[in-house]
Structure 1
Amino acid sequence: MSKKLVILILPMFLISCGGKQEEAQQNNDPDRVGTVTERVSPTQERLQAEIEDPKRTEWQNPDLILERIGDLTNKTVADIGAGSGYFTFKIAREAAKVIALDIDPKALEYIDSQKEIVGKWSDNIEPRLTPPDVPNLLEEEADIVLIVNTYNYIPNKEIYFPRLLNGMKPGGRLIIVDFKKGDIPVGPADEYKVEASSVKSFLRKSSFRKIDIDEKSLQYQYIITAEKK
């Protein structure tokens, strides 16, 4: 087996194993987000539930996150790990273009189906299939990159993030939203979470600048913002 194939398969194997353990803990808790396995291979029903879940709106507070993203006028936004398009469709109302990136074709098919339902205003959404360890952005394509509940599932970050920088325009902004560690009613087990300070340290080594951590605005999550030099 080639080294490249091993690199691609290993993260998926680890995610699958982790999902089984977490599923046993969460079967009877409807307030938690999907298991790790579900995040990678969502069903049509789960995608629909995710995008319409009012409880997620309460703890995710998408309006606050959109406020942190800032002015979207004439901006191209890459939504990495777009899933059901929970943020994709919200961003599309103001941005010039949204690239919905996901490793699962079912998720992108769902976004396409929702585009047909909501109408012409969502024509600025481009669903784009991507390998797990490749951002799949053209050089300097995105003004803004949003990564929600996905950072820890990105394999080979030392390779991925320099490529991500290449896909961002000079001065482009990165927003990462993910779960805090601890006993909280949403999100994966702690073993699948990364401390905000570790993310900040990694981004600094990856040549991002103006890195800021906000651990107060959201009850269960932190928000990290950074810029490309």
Structure 2
Amino acid sequence: MPRAALTILLIVFTCWSCGSSDSKTKEKQEPIIKLKEGPKPVSIADQLEPKIEDIERTEWQNPDYILDYLGDLSGKTVADVGAGAGYFAFKLARTAEKVIALDIDPKALEYIESQKEIVGDWSSNIEARLTPPDVPNLLSDEVDLVLIVNTYSYIPNKETYFPRLLEGLKPGGKLIIVDFKIEDIPVGPANEFKTAPKEVRSALRKANFKRIDINEDNLKYQYIISAEKR
């Protein structure tokens, strides 16, 4: 083979080898498994957004009607029995002088305190107070109004609880109970865990509450019972 032809072949082979090596190097540098994108960072605005509203609950609970039913709360102290995460406590705090959020779960009360820090000074009138299941934990004549929503059936020893609750109300004070109708409805517990309005009225009479009224017409899934201390 002529020397010139041999030289050309060597140059071509060398170039092909270099290209093949670079290609393999690039292949090795590519990751075998591509990582999925992680969660997007949460903005400061999202972190500071209070979680005191439950949109799904609001659709069936109709809290605006219940608040209107309570009347003017200006200058009044209200006890929210079974306050939970503060769904009603924060709504009451906008007009009441003071709200006592009563619950048996310390974590629920810690949550209320955390939300108070987020929403600001307007909720500083909420006192989160831990209470035993069968004791209202109110001082004598401490409150003008007691609100019990979706909680009545879970209160043990009602024959002792409600006379004590009566003591915590000021003369002329009111008790409002909102609970689920014993019907086939899409919200609330099973019917076996509900209490009929007439049974509630009987318990309140035994506890010496007066002017007991049952309203079963204005809420779709619930009844309202009002009673007074005389």
Q: Does 1:218 align with 2:214?
A: no
**Equivalent position of 1:113 in the other structure:** 114
Q: Take 1:56 and 1:50, find their aligned partners in 2: how far apart are those partners? A: 13
- Residues 36-95 of structure 1 show CA distances to partners (whole Å, capped at 9, x for unaligned) of xxxxxxxxxxxx998432221121100100011111010000000000100000000000
CA contact (8 A) 1:85 1:111 kept: yes
- Residues 121-146 of structure 1 show CA distances to partners (whole Å, capped at 9, x for unaligned) of 11100000000000000010010000
**Equivalent position of 1:89 in the other structure:** 90
- Residues 111-168 of structure 1 show CA distances to partners (whole Å, capped at 9, x for unaligned) of 0000000000111000000000000000100100000000010000111011001111
**Equivalent position of 1:142 in the other structure:** 143
Give the partner amino acid of 2:94: R
How is 1:181-192 mapped onto 2 (pairs within 5 angstroms)? 181-192=182-193
Q: Take 1:49 and 1:82, find their aligned partners in 2: how far apart are those partners? A: 16
**Equivalent position of 1:130 in the other structure:** 131
**Equivalent position of 1:77 in the other structure:** 78
Q: Does 1:169 align with 2:178?
A: no
TM-score (structure 1 length as normaliser) = 0.77
Greater relative contact order, per chain length (Cα 8 Å cut-off, separation 6+) = 1
Distance 1:70-1:134 versus aligned 2 partners, 3 A rule: same
Give the partner amino acid of 1:93: R
Q: Take 2:75 and 2:163, find their aligned partners in 1: how far apart are those partners? A: 25
- Residues 174-222 of structure 1 show CA distances to partners (whole Å, capped at 9, x for unaligned) of 0000000121100001111000111112111211111111101011100
Give the partner amino acid of 2:97: A
How many residue pairs get matched? 182
Runs of 4+ in 1 over 2 A off after TM superposition: 48-53
Which ranges in structure 2 are unaligned for 5 or more consecutive residues?
A: 1-48
CA contact (8 A) 1:142 1:169 kept: yes
**Equivalent position of 1:6 in the other structure:** none
RMSD: 1.5
Give the partner amino acid of 1:180: K
**Equivalent position of 2:180 in the other structure:** 179
**Equivalent position of 1:202 in the other structure:** 203
Give the partner amino acid of 2:62: N
CA contact (8 A) 1:50 1:86 kept: no
CA contact (8 A) 2:50 2:118 kept: no
Q: Take 1:50 and 1:208, find their aligned partners in 2: how far apart are those partners? A: 36
Distance 1:50-1:152 versus aligned 2 partners, 3 A rule: farther
Higher-Rg structure is 2
Distance 1:121-1:50 versus aligned 2 partners, 3 A rule: closer
TM-score (structure 2 length as normaliser) = 0.77
Identity, in percent, stands at 72
Give the partner amino acid of 1:119: G
